[in-house]
Amino acid sequence: MTLPVADTWFTASRIAEGVTLILEPHVHVLEQANMFLVEGAERDMILDTGMGIAPLAPFLDTLRPDPAKDIICVSSHTHIDHIGGVHEFATRLVHPLEAEEMAAPSGLNSLFRRDMPDRLLQTFLDAGYPPIGELLIDALPHAGYDPESYVLRGAPATGLLDEGDVVDLGDRRFHVLHLPGHSPGGIGLWEPASGTLFGGDAIYDGPLIYEGPGMSIPAYRQTFAKLRQLDVRIVHGGHDPSFGPERMAEIIEEYEERWDG
Candidates 3.60.15.10, 3.40.309.10, 3.40.228.10, 3.40.50.80; CATH matching 11-260: 3.60.15.10
Q: Render each residue's pLDDT in the chain as its tens digit; 261 residues.
A: 689 999 999 999 999 999 999 999 999 999 999 999 999 999 999 999 999 999 999 999 999 999 999 999 999 999 999 999 999 999 999 999 999 999 999 999 999 999 998 988 898 898 889 999 999 999 999 999 999 999 999 999 999 999 999 999 999 999 999 999 999 999 999 999 999 999 999 999 999 999 999 999 999 999 999 999 999 999 999 999 999 999 999 999 999 999 998
- pTM attached to this predicted model: 0.97
Coil vs helix vs strand at 224? helix
Q: Please, is 41 exposed, middle or buried when counting C-beta atoms within 10 Å of its C-beta (0-12, 13-18, 19+)?
A: exposed
Q: What's phi and psi for 175, nearest 5 deg?
A: -85, 135
Is residue 225 within 8 A of residue 203, CB to CB? The reply is no
Domain ranges of the chain: 11-260
For residue 145, which amino acid is it? Answer: Y
C-alpha to C-alpha distance for 259 and 49, rounded to whole angstroms: 31
Angle between helices 217-228 and 245-260 (to 10 degrees): 150
Coil vs helix vs strand at 43? coil
Is residue 25 within 8 A of residue 11, CB to CB? The reply is yes
Is residue 95 within 8 A of residue 186, CB to CB? The reply is yes
Pick from 56, 8, 63: nearest CA to 38: 63
